[in-house]
Amino acid sequence: MNGSRPWWQSAVIYQIYPRSFQDTNDDGIGDLNGITQRLPDLIDLGVDAIWISPIFRSPMKDFGYDISDYVDVDPIFGTMADFERLIAEAHARGIKVILDFVPNHSSDQHAWFLESRASRTSAKRDWYIWRDPAPGGGPPNNWLSEFGGSAWEFDAATGQYYYHAFLNSQPDLNWRNPEVVAAMRDVLRFWMRKGIDGFRVDVIWHLIKDRQFRDNPPNPNYHAGRPPNEALIPLYTTDLPEVHDVIGTLRRTVDEFPDRLLIGEIYLPVERLVAYYGRDLGGVHLPFNFALLSARWDAKHLQALITEYEGALPKGGWPNWVLGNHDRPRIAGRVGQRQAAVAAMLLLTLRGTPTIYNGDELGMPQVDIPRHRVRDPFERNVPGIGVGRDGCRTPMQWDSSRNAGFSRVDPWLPLADDWRSNNVANLREDALSILNLYRRLLRVRKERPALSLGSYRPYVVDEDLLAYYRELNDSRLLIVLNLTDGPQALKLEEGAHARILVSTEAKRDGDLVKGTVTLAGDEGLVIDMASR
C-alpha cells in the first residue's frame, strides 16, 4: 500500500513475453531462469511489477494461450522450482509478479476437454460448449472464430460441435457451469498461495455466450482486407451483461488474499470498457485501456481521447494506459523512432497505472517476418492482411554479442536488423537514448508523487502540442509534448518560473524557463512549475 492506496496505483507494470526475453538453456526460447537472471536490469530500469505472459503447460499451438494444465509450468520455461525461485528473487528486490490467466478456453489436450469429448454423458461434457448440428446439417449457427473460419468444430465421435472463439485446438469453457467457475477459482488460489501478486485475465469480455445461441448480425461497415471474423458484430459472443457476475466472482476470489491485483484484457470502446470496473468497483481493478494502441497520433485527437476516458471513469475507478503489447505492432513501428520517445513520456506521465511492453524501452522496431519464419497461427490462418503478431514478439536485444545476448543458439524468431547497435548495453551508455529516457522518467515518477498519484488537468494548446498538468498538494508539473517534427513554442502561465525536469533531448534537463518554452521537433518536456 502507498499510504491508504493499493500498491498498483503508483506502480509501473512491465510486460514480459517470456519466449523472447532471455534463454538460459540454449533452446532458442526464453525461460523463467532468464527472467530471474534479468531482474537486475529491471531494477535498473525502475519498474515495480512484471506481468508474465503464459508459462503454464501447453502444446504451444498459440504459444501458451492454449493451456493443458493450469497448475503446472511448461518444461519449455522450466520447472515449478524455477518459478518459485523467480517469485522469491523478484519479491526480495521489491518487484511484484503478475501472471497471465487464460480462463476463456483451454487446450484441446487438457484433461478436462479430453473427458468432455469422450462421450455425451461424460461428467465434464457441460464444462465446454457443445451443440447439435443445425437442422439441415453443418454448424449450429454463424459464429466466427477470431482466427478465421467457423467457431464450431465437429466432433465425429459424439456427433456434436464444440465452440472455439480462437483456434479449433482452443475449446471455450462453459462459464455458465458452476463447476467450471469453482475449478477456476481454485486455480487462482493455487497461484496466489505461491505468492503471485495478481492476474491479467485474457479476453475476459468473451467469457459468457448467448444462452439461445442466436446468429450474430452482419457488420455493415465490414470491408475486404479486414480480418474475416469482423464480418459479423459479436453481439451474442462477447460483452454480454452476465459476464459481470462472473468477473465479480473472480474479484471476490482474488480479494481472499491481501493486496492482489486483477486486470482484464478488454478490447471495447471506452463507454463499454468502464463497465468492467463493476458495480461498486467490484469488477477488475484495471480494465486494460488500449486506446493508445490504435490512436491517431496528433495532439487534438489524443487530447480528446484522454478527456473522454477521464470523463467516463466511474467514481473511484483508477485509470491505466497501455502503449504496446504482444498482440499489436510496436509503438516505434506505428509512430516512428523519434515520436516513440514522446510516446514514452505520454505513457509515463498520464494519470493512472502504465504498462510497458518489453523492448519498447529500447524503441525496438516492428520486424517484417519472412514468410518461411512465420510462427503466429493467426497469420497462418489469415495470411496477407497484416494480422501477424510475430513482428512485435522478436527476441529482446541485450547486447551486441551473438543473437543480441538473448540466446547462444538461433532464436525461435528472427532478430530485428538493428540489434547490434540498438540494445540494452549500448543504449545504457548513451545519455540521449530512449532507454535512458525511460530510466529518467521512471526515476522522476518515484521522486514526484504528482506523476503517479496526482490529478490530471488539460492545458489549452494548439493542434501541434499536447500539454497537461499533473498536480498533488503543492507540486505542479506541466507536461508538454510536441507531436510534430518541427519546433513549437508554448506560452506558459503569467509569471511562471519553471525548471525542466525531463526532456526527451536529455541535455535540457535542469534548464530554467519562463514566459515561453520552445520545443524542438519530436521533443517532450516535464516541467516543474513550482521552481523559482
User: Which residues are tagged catalytic?
Assistant: 202, 256
Assign 8 to helix, strand or coil: helix
Residue with C-alpha cell 525542466? 500
Region label for 311, one of left (φ > 0), alpha (ψ between -120 and 50) or beta (otherwise): alpha
C-alpha cell read off for 286:
484495471
Which of 148-157's residues contact partners 24+ apart within 8 Å by CB, and which partners? 148/227, 148/228, 148/229, 148/378, 148/381, 148/382, 149/228, 149/381, 151/237, 155/117, 155/130, 157/117
Q: Which amino acid is at 311?
A: G
Residue 431 burial class via C-beta count within 10 angstroms: exposed 0-12, middle 13-18, buried 19 and up: exposed
Partners of 160 in the β-ladder: 155
- Radius of gyration of the chain measured on its C-alpha atoms: 24
Residue 221, C-beta contacts closer than 8 angstroms, at least 6 positions apart: none
Partners of 99 in the β-ladder: 52, 199
CA dihedral 176, 178, 183, 188 (to 10 degrees): 70
Rounded to whole angstroms, how far apart are CA atoms 232 and 473?
50
CB of 214 within 8 A of CB of 263?
Answer: no
CB of 143 within 8 A of CB of 134?
Answer: no
Residue 237, C-beta contacts closer than 8 angstroms, at least 6 positions apart: 143, 151, 165, 206, 209, 210, 216
Strands 524-528 and 475-482: antiparallel
CB of 472 within 8 A of CB of 450?
Answer: yes
Number of C-beta neighbours around residue 335 at 10 A: 19
Rounded to whole angstroms, how far apart are CA atoms 503 and 514?
16
C-alpha triplet 414, 417, 420: angle, nearest 5°: 105
Helical spans, DSSP H, in 373-423 = 377-381
